[in-house]
C-alpha cells in the first residue's frame, strides 16, 4: 500500500519545484516494513513551435525501516513528451545507489513510461 502527497512550488523562469512524500507499507508473513521516499523534482515546459515537452531532473532518497537507514538514493533526468490530449511518454535515465547491504550496489537504467490521463 502507498500513502503520499505532492506539493508544487512555482519558481522563477517558469520552473516548477515539486516535493513528493510517500510511504510504502509492506506486510509480509510475521513482519511489517515501511519505506519513506522523498522525491524533489525541477521541471520546466519548453515550447518547440507548437510542441511542449517538459524536461526535468530529480533526486529521491529512500529510508527503509528494515535496515534502519537511508538505504537508497535515486538521481534521474528525463522529459515528458505529450502524445495527444490524454497521453504523454516519459523517457528518463536513472542512477541508483543502494547501500542497504554490503557491498553497495549501483544501477544505471533507462526507462520509457506511457502516462494516460482521464
Q: Give the pLDDT score at 28.
A: 84
Question: Each residue of 53-76: pLDDT tens digit?
Answer: 999 999 999 999 999 999 999 999
CA–chain centroid gap for 21, Å, is: 10
How far apart (Å, rounded) are the C-alpha atoms in residues 56 and 58?
A: 7
Question: Each residue of 84-102: pLDDT tens digit?
Answer: 999 999 999 999 999 998 8
Mean pLDDT value across residues 26-46: 94
**69-82 vs 31-43, strand pairing mode:** unpaired
69 half-sphere exposure, CB direction, 13 A CA radius: 8
The C-alpha cell 528494515 sits at: 66
Amino acid at each position: 500500500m502507498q500513502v503520499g502527497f505532492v506539493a508544487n512550488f512555482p519558481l522563477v523562469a517558469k520552473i516548477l519545484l515539486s516535493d513528493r512524500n510517500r510511504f510504502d507499507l509492506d506486510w509480509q508473513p510475521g513482519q511489517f516494513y515501511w519505506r519513506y521516499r522523498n522525491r524533489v523534482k525541477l521541471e520546466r515546459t519548453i515550447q518547440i513551435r507548437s510542441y511542449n515537452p517538459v524536461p526535468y531532473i530529480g533526486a529521491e532518497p529512500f529510508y527503509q525501516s528494515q535496515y534502519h537507514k537511508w538505504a537508497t538514493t535515486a538521481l534521474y533526468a528525463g522529459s515528458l513528451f505529450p502524445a495527444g490530449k490524454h497521453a504523454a511518454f516519459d523517457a528518463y535515465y536513472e542512477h541508483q545507489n543502494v547501500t542497504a547491504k554490503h557491498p553497495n550496489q549501483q544501477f544505471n537504467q533507462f526507462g520509457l513510461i506511457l502516462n494516460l490521463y482521464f
